[in-house]
Every structure is written in C-alpha cells, then in structure tokens.
Structure 1
Amino acid sequence: MSVIEGAARPHREQRQERRAELSAFLKACRARVRPEDVGLPPGPRRRTPGLRREEVAQLAGVGVTWYTWLEQGRPINASEQVLAAVARTLRLDTAERDHLFRLAEVRTPQDGPASPTLDRTSQVILDALSPLPAAICNGRFDILLHNAAYDALFPGATRPRGPGGRRNSMWCAFTVPDCCNPFLNRDAELPRMVGVLRGGYGRHVGEPAWEEFLRDLCEASPAFRELWARQEVAPPRNARKVFRHAAVGELRFEASYLTIPAAPECYLVVYTPESALDRERMERLVAGERVPPVDHVH
C-alpha cells in the first residue's frame, strides 16, 4: 500500500461514517413528520410512522431514486437548493437544516475554521467576571478555561475524579450520581444539551476524538445513549440552570452563551444569578473556603 493510499483510507472511513450518520438522521426526521402535517391524507395503514420516501421526494421535487440513495448514505452529489427543499419538506428548523448540510458535506454560510484560537486575554476576562461563574467550552462541552467561581460551583466538571473522568460539563451531568451531582434540573436541560451536541457533531463525524467521546459516554450512561439515539438537533440558547452546593444550598442561574469570533466552535458561558439571594449565595461560595459540594463521599 502506498503512502497516498494509507493517508486516504482514514478520510474514506470518515466519509463513510458521515454518510451513515446522514442516513440515520434523515430516517429519524422523516419518521417525525405526519402526512397531515404536509397536506397529505393519512392513507392506508402504514408499516412505519411518518412519511414514505416517495412522499418526501414528491414534496421536495426530487427523484425517488435520488432521495432513496441520499437516505441510504450513498456517495451522491447534492446541491444547496435540493437539500434546502428536502429540509423544508421534513420541516427542519435552522439547527437541523445546518446539521443536514454538514452531514451531506454542503457548506453553509455559518461554517468557519474549526481550529480554536484562545489568546492570553481570555483567562483575564473570565477572572474579571467573578463572582459570576464563567467558562469557555467547545462544541463537545469540553471545558477549556474557567474562572474560580465556575470551579466552586461545578467542581465535578472542572476537577473530574477517576481514570475515566473528563473536564466536560456533559460528562459530569450524565455520569455523576444523582446524590452527588450539582446540576439539578437535568430532566429539562439534558435533552436540549444533547441536541446541541448533535449539531456540533455534524462538523466532526468520524473524527477520533469525537467518536471516542461519544462511544465512552454511551457506555457510561444509558440515559445519554437513549437521548443520543433520538437524532434530535437543537440550537444553542440561553437556559435556566439550577445547582446545589452543601455550603450554600440551591442556586438558580440564567446561562448566557456568547460566541467567540476567533474560535467559531467555542463559546463563553456566563451564569447570572436569578435573584439577589442567589447572587449572595454565590458570593459567599466564592469568598469562603473550598467546601466540598456534597456532604458525603462514595
């Protein structure tokens, strides 16, 4: 095998994985659209929920064979206009549409360079935000930088324990036991977070670091595995976060996500206390000694 062939093999394998992800995503989206949602009669009994392939093709104005091959993940060319028609037919929102484009390897205006660039002022800015917890994360929810307030609030993510631990807020939210998990409103927030992760994954299908992270988290958390299998995509948006700490009790925040032009796939998250009491508790937590967030150990 030549050097060129050896270098090309990982790229071919990555494209195959991307196509498999495209296939799974399109099938899941098609199953979620009812015929009556797009003006079609329910018709005779259907073997599976949602639209048939031929119905998607008809509504999108494309050939049945072409759409079938697209959904099967075959290596076919797709233009922006045709993919946009498929996205409209499947009633995809902006985040889902961008995800479709990336899986089909059609560039969108939002796509930019993938390599993050964080200069030395990033940490200075984070430190100046204290006592507001703040961190810079990437699309995989890895915590790249954080301030002391974030560390005091969320040590399970910034100081992971055990050989499989990661400095990653998603990993902490899914793998730390309920009794020790500082993140309380997970039932409301975790589906959204997994949807945001799915959107980021569209840029990185087949990349070893992403595939390893997803494989490990699926093995570590049945709850994550179930949410990931839904193929749902969500856009980043401000969210309510509820934490608890043994030293001060419950704290409620509005999490704001800010983009970083120099690092398009990274974001700054800042937690703003919901009330004066929440702010006072956060200030006490930052000013006081480092009290463990829970009152017991396993």
Structure 2
Amino acid sequence: MTSTPRIPRRAELAQFLRTRRARVRPAEVGLPAGTRRRTPGLRREEVARLADVGVSWYTWLEQGRDIHVSEPLLERLARALRLTPTERAHLFELAHGRPAARPAIAPARVSEALQRVIDDYPFPALVSTRRWDVLAWNAPAVVLYGDFGLLPPERRNGLWSLFMNPDRRARMPGWEADARRAVAGFRLDAARAADRTEFDALVEELASVSPEFARFWGEHDVVERPEGLKVIDHPDLGVIEFEHVALMHSEPDGHQLRVTLYSPRPGTSTTRARKLFRHVTR
C-alpha cells in the first residue's frame, strides 16, 4: 500500500487559492460575467483588485513562491474569495503554519442546536465567550444564578456577576477562594486573546467598583480552570456541591465558545439538586 506524498505547505496554499478563485462567480462580487472567460470563477487580476494587492504578488502566491504574507493581506484575500470561517482558518494555517485569530466580535446568540442541547441537560449549563460574557443558559441555571435575560447584555458576564451580584455571593461559603481562582483564570484567558481590548475594559471597570477585585487582579496569579468544584449554600436545602467542566465548542460562524456543565456530587448533593430543579427539568 502506497501513501499519498505530502504536499509542501506553500504548494498546498497555491492549490487552495486556485480552487477558491475558480469557485467565485463574478456576479457574486459585483463584476460582469463577460463572454470571453476561459475558466470559471475570477481571474487573478480580479482577485488582486478586490483584495487591494499587486497582481504580481498574488500571482507569485498562487505559484507557491516563498513570499511574505501578512495577516491584513490574508484577511483581504479571505473577503475577496468569500471564504467561510473554516476556510479562512485554513488559509491562515497554510500561510503561517498556525491558526488564525478568531473574529473579535462575539455572536449575539448561540446556534439553535447548542441551545437545544443545554435545554435538555438536567442541571445548570452556561455558554459563554472567552471573555466570560454569558450568551445562553438553561432553566436550572436560572434557578441557581438568576435570569440572565433580565440583565442588560453588557452585564451578562460571569466575572462581573461573581463580584457584583450580592445574592450569588451570599450563597457561596468559599467565595473568596473561588473569586481568587476565577480572577486567575480570567487573567490567563485575557493573555491568550488575540485582541485583549475588551478584556482590559472589563478589568478597568470592575476594578473601579470592586476593591476586592482590584486587589486580586494585582496579585497577578494565573491558573487553568477546565474543571472544578462549586459549593452553594441554599437557604432552604442546605449545602449542594457541584462539579463542573468547561468544554470548548466551535459555532458555525467560527467563534469558539465555552460550555460549562454543572453536575451535583453523588449522594446528598444530588438529592438536594433534584429537589431544587424538579419544577424546571423534564
């Protein structure tokens, strides 16, 4: 059995650009179809004009030459060739050998499929951005944290809620330790962001209204938080321990979201959690 020979990255990039160029119809980008086109799709000079790059430079790129390709140029090519989010990421990986930064603007909502999945989950589930802005939640999460839908979008943020929601804080017997870990995790997420402008804006605003947050942030701790334990002291049911895991999910538009699932520990916590959520679960 023979294996398929590996294509050099630049040669694969050249082939990818040629196939994407052939796929775009001139009318889709506002160009006349004409009657003298020998091949389907756009001509090289048309792609170069749409992307605001030199024709020679684009020709060399399609020929697989080892030339410098900046991120702004790749972004313009992606728009000119009408690439999908997945194709855009692939373009960056071929050109630079690493993934492209995710689009900076977060979606306003999650896909219907993801919302159905968390709605069917019997315990609290949240979907948030890398900046911890909460985009979706299920009915048990409303019981545990309150209805995010009643808050303005700019206040549907997990870090803001942790410090500024007194009801949530009152139910967390280990609030200070949990808050320190949360701040350390947020700092790590901010450091990994391609554009941390929105992270810094949240930090500045929160530090101006919460001396405790400002103090924790000034300690410069960092920690990975893929899973953990959350302890809730419910006024009627008593202490409930929830284990939680965070899973990354890619939406169809290319954004990566964090899906956090909470599950009560076996025994007393499970019994109390089922009582807590019995009116909202199926």
Residues 154 and 182 in structure 1, CA contact (< 8 A), matched pair in contact too: no
Match of 2:114 among 112, 119, 122: 122
Shift of 1:186: 2.2
Describe the shift of the 1:235–1:245 C-alpha distance in structure 2 as closer, same or farther (beyond 3 A).
same
Alignment coverage as a number of residue pairs:
179
Counterparts of 1:196 and 1:279, CA distance in 2 = 27
Q: 1:251 aligns with which of 222, 240, 252?
A: 240
Cα distance in structure 2, aligned partners of 1:187 and 1:127: 31
For residues 172 and 179 of structure 1, the distance between their equivalents in structure 2, rounded to whole angstroms, comes to: 8
Secondary structure of the residue that 1:260 maps to in structure 2? Answer: strand
Q: Percent identity?
A: 22
2:170 alignment counterpart: 181
2:246/2:259 contact within 8 Å kept: yes
C-alpha change, 1:237 and 1:133, in structure 2 (3 Å) is same
**Paired position in structure 1 for 2:137:** 146
Aligned: 1:158 with 2:158: no
**Candidates 276, 279, 283, aligned match of 2:270:** 279
Q: Which amino acid in the other structure matches residue 154 of structure 1?
A: Y
Rounded to whole Å, the distance in 2 between the matches of 1:269 and 1:170 is: 14
Structure 2 unaligned regions, length at least 5? 1-95
Could you tell me how far apart the structure 1 residues matched to 2:97 and 2:236 are? 47
Measured after TM superposition, the shift of residue 112 of structure 1 is: 4.1
Distance 1:175 1:165, change over 3 A: farther
Partner of 1:278: helix, strand, or coil? Answer: helix
Displacement over 6 Å in runs of 4+: none
Query: Normalized against structure 1, the TM-score is what?
Result: 0.52
Distance 1:108 1:174 in 2: 40
- Which of the numbers 181, 194, 207 marks the counterpart of 2:183? 194
Checking the alignment, whether the CA contact within 8 Å between 1:116 and 1:265 is kept in structure 2 is no
Pair 218,171 (structure 1): closer, same or farther in 2 beyond 3 Å:
same
In terms of Rg, which structure is larger? 2
Per-residue CA deviations over 1:138-170 (Å, capped at 9, x if unaligned) read 122221100000110111x73677x89822222
Q: Distance in 1 between matches of 2:204 and 2:279?
A: 39
Q: Contact (CA 8 Å) 1:112, 1:264: kept in 2 or not?
A: no
Deviation, structure 1 residue 271? 0.7
What's the CA shift for 1:185?
2.2
Cα pair distance change 1:173/1:233, threshold 3 Å = same
Q: How far is 1:110 from its partner?
A: 6.8
In structure 1, distance between residues paired with 2:170 and 2:97: 38
Amino acid at match of 2:217: W
The answer (yes or no) to whether the contact 2:240–2:264 under 8 Å persists in 1 is: yes
Q: 1:225 is matched with which residue? A: 214
In structure 2, do the counterparts of structure 1 residues 160 and 183 end up closer, same or farther at CA, with 3 Å as the change threshold?
farther
Q: Is the 8 A contact 2:124 2:262 kept in 1?
A: yes
Segments of 5+ residues of structure 1 without an aligned counterpart are 1-106, 290-298
